Structure formats: structure tokens, C-alpha cells
């Protein structure tokens, strides 16, 4: 019996041989900076959570950066985006200020939602960020609704929604697939398949090896790609966006990736081996992009300078966030609903 793509399979072994975008070195270097910024912000958040400075559950997407940065570069600022509670990387890739992001997770007044949204509810409409969601798959029909609104209004904007492999088995996913295809909505369904539904290996939850084949039952265009390669992600999302803007309907993209940190802060990770994680580290997004830049003639010192600059920026953002005041208790029930 075939099982889902196992956790020891590298993302480079994805099923679809898509021609990657060949982006200029300047663009790739900026992408490297954004990916390293995301990585260091999330590692800093983990440190803050494990030292007791962040309340509640906090989930990172360390190792998923290629999916977020490649997609963000392929879309327009006005395009809609929804994502899961593991969505810091998408917000930062779209341009959210790291100071505001960290302050929000710490529950401080200078956060983008004045500290009331926290890690699970990242949102910034002016960047097209229409909300992360704490309920598995709940953000998917929201994006379809935005795509429908754009179509009815005759706007040249599309929606993209990110979700994990665990969301594939929610009923609302399949209801949305069916209607989106039937109405040919301008939407991209992007599955970040990191091979684990929280702590459960996907091989124990799915009867289908390639998740990208599910939407084909609805007649939808779909493909499986290497989600750790920004140029492949950029190419796949660019093509899907062009289809959506041309009125050709939705596309499903399965981006194979791997979560290098635990499901949440404090996860003991007893469900996988250090050897499995080490093997995946050899093909994680930062390694793939760094190797490509070096192969294309970018000096290692340029990359080292970027890393040093980002370290300073993130350290300043953490200090800013920790010095930000707490929200006024009198505002606990303001900004909760928008009428």
C-alpha cells in the first residue's frame, strides 16, 4: 500500500519538474536577506517563549521560508493572503515590520494589533495579509470568499491561501475546492507539506501518497514542487497567478518542505529522530539559496555582511518589543469587532 511522502524524502525529489525562474543575483540576494531575517526572528521568538516571556502556544515555520519568500515575490501587494497559525514567515515575507511582529507576539501595545492578536492572528490588510487562523483549514474558505468578491467586482487581484498537510482531511477544504473550481475563482491553494500534522507523521494519516492529486478529482490544475527552492516556488506561483488573472480558475500547489523546529515552543520532538532532521538540514531553504548564490559568483563576504546586518536588526527589534508598554486594560474590549 502506498503511503504519503515520507519525512525522510527531500523536497528536491518532488514529483513535478517545473522550470525554475532564473532570477537576477540582486533579487536572490534580497530574498536571502528576507529568509535569514525570518529565520532569526522566529529563532528569537522561540528563545523568548522558552524563557517564559510569551504566553500561550507559539508555532514557528523554521525551514518553510522558501515557500513564503518565493510566493511573496511572485504576487502583487494588493493580492489577498490568508494562512495558518504558523504564519509569521508569510507576514514578514510580505513586508511586516519585525518590531511590530515581535511586539505583537509578546502582547505589547506596539504590535500590529496592539498586542491583542498574538502569534495566531497575524493580520495587516495594507500588505494584503487578511488573517492567520487558529482553526485548521478555516482560512481557506475565507480566501475563496475574497477571490469571489474580486471576481464579482471585476478587480485584477487574486487570493492565495496557505495551509499544512494536516488540513487536507478537513471537509471544508473539499467543499472549497469544489466551489472554487466550479466558479473558476482567482485563487491559489498552497499546501506547505512538512510531512507532520502537529506530531503525527503524514504516513499515518493519509491514504494518498501525493497530496496534489486530491484536487485533481475536482478537475483542478495541480502540481507538487520543491518548496525549499525559492526559484521553483516563484515560478509555480507566477504561473498559477497568471492563470487566475486570466480567468482560468484555481491552481493547487503542494510545496514539499520540512519543519526544522518543533510543532510549537517546548515540543520535545519525541516523534522523530535527530538523524532525520540532520538529513533535511542539508536541503533546507537557506542552504539551497546560499549554495546557488555562491555558484553564481556572489562573494561569501556579501552574504556574511547580510547576516551580520540582520542580526543587528533583529536584536534591535527584540529590544524594542520588550520595552514596548503593555496595552491599557481599559482597551481590552476595543478593536475586537469592525462594524
Check residue 218 and give its pLDDT: 97
- pLDDT value of residue 317: 98
Under DSSP, is residue 236 helix (H, G, I), strand (E, B) or coil? helix
37-68 pLDDT, tens digit each: 999 999 999 999 999 999 888 999 999 999 99
Predicted pLDDT of residue 338: 61
Helices 230-245 & 285-295 angle (0-180, nearest 10): 100
Nearest to 258 by CA among 201, 195, 205: 195
pLDDT at 275: 93
DSSP 130: E
CA 85 to chain centre: 10
Please give the pLDDT value at position 1. Answer: 38
93-100: long-range pairs with CB below 8 Å, 24+: 93/34, 93/38, 93/65, 93/68, 93/69, 94/124, 94/127, 94/128, 94/129, 95/127, 96/122, 96/124, 96/127, 96/129, 98/37, 98/41, 98/313, 98/314, 98/317, 99/316, 99/317, 99/320, 99/321
- pLDDT tens across the length of the chain (339 residues): 344 567 778 888 888 778 888 999 999 999 999 999 999 999 999 999 999 999 888 999 999 999 999 999 999 999 999 999 999 999 999 999 999 999 999 999 999 999 999 999 999 999 999 999 999 999 999 999 999 999 999 999 999 999 999 999 999 999 999 999 999 999 999 999 999 999 999 888 888 878 999 999 999 999 999 999 999 999 999 999 999 999 999 999 999 999 999 999 999 999 999 999 999 999 999 999 999 999 999 999 999 999 999 999 999 999 999 999 999 999 888 887 765
Grid cell at residue 262? 518543533
For residue 228, what are the contacts with CB-CB under 8 A and spacing of at least 6?
Answer: 11, 12, 63, 66, 256, 257, 258, 283, 284, 285, 288
Burial of 53 (0-12, 13-18, 19+ CB in 10 A): middle
Q: Check residue 262 and give its pLDDT.
A: 94
Phi-psi region of 193 (alpha: psi -120 to 50; beta: other; left: phi over 0): beta
Instruction: List C-alpha distances in Å: 270 to 51, 54, 201.
Output: 21, 23, 12
Q: Residue 300 belongs to what H/E stretch?
A: helix 300-323
* β 251-256/200-201 pair status: unpaired
34 Cβ partners below 8 Å, 6+ apart? 65, 69, 92, 93
> 2-34: per-residue pLDDT in tens?
445 677 788 888 887 788 889 999 999 999 999
User: In angstroms, how far is CA 52 from the centroid of its own chain?
Assistant: 25
18/33 Cα distance (integer angstroms): 25
pLDDT of the residue at 223: 96
Amino acid at each position: 500500500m502506498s503511503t504519503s511522502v515520507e519525512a525522510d524524502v527531500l523536497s528536491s525529489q518532488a514529483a513535478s519538474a517545473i522550470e525554475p525562474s532564473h532570477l537576477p543575483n540582486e533579487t536572490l540576494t534580497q530574498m536571502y536577506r528576507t529568509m535569514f531575517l525570518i529565520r532569526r526572528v522566529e529563532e528569537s521568538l522561540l528563545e523568548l517563549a522558552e524563557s517564559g516571556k510569551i504566553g500561550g502556544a507559539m508555532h514557528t515555520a523554521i525551514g518553510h521560508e522558501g515557500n513564503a519568500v518565493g510566493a511573496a515575490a511572485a504576487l502583487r501587494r494588493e493580492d489577498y493572503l490568508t494562512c495558518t497559525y504558523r504564519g509569521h514567515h508569510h507576514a514578514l515575507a510580505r513586508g511586516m515590520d519585525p518590531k511590530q511582529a515581535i511586539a505583537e507576539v509578546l502582547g505589547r501595545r506596539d504590535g500590529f494589533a496592539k498586542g491583542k492578536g498574538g502569534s495566531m492572528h497575524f493580520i495587516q490588510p495594507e500588505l494584503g495579509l487578511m488573517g492567520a487562523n487558529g482553526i485548521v483549514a478555516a482560512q481557506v474558505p475565507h480566501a475563496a470568499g475574497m477571490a469571489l468578491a474580486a471576481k464579482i467586482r471585476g478587480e485584477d487581484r487574486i487570493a492565495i491561501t496557505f495551509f499544512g498537510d494536516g488540513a487536507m482531511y478537513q471537509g471544508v477544504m473539499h467543499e472549497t475546492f469544489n466551489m472554487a473550481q466550479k466558479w473558476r475563482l482567482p485563487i491559489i491553494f498552497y499546501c506547505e507539506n512538512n510531512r507532520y500534522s502537529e506530531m503525527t507523521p503524514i504516513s499515518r494519516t493519509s491514504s494518498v501518497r501525493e497530496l496534489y492529486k486530491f484536487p485533481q478529482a475536482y478537475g483542478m490544475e495541480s502540481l507538487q514542487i520543491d518548496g525549499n527552492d525559492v526559484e521553483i516556488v516563484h515560478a509555480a506561483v507566477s504561473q498559477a497567478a497568471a492563470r487566475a488573472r486570466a480567468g482560468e480558475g484555481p491552481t493547487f500547489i503542494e510545496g514539499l518542505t520540512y519543519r526544522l523546529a518543533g510543532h510549537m515552543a517546548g515540543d520535545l520532538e519525541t516523534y522523530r529522530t535527530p538523524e532525520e532532521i540532520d538529513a533535511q538540514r542539508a536541503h533546507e531553504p537557506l542552504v539551497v539559496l546560499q549554495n546557488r548564490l555562491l555558484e553564481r559568483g556572489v562573494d561569501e563576504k556579501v552574504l556574511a555582511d547580510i547576516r551580520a546586518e540582520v542580526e543587528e536588526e533583529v536584536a534591535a527589534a527584540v529590544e524594542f518589543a520588550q520595552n514596548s508598554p503593555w496595552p491599557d486594560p481599559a482597551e481590552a474590549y476595543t478593536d475586537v469587532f469592525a462594524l
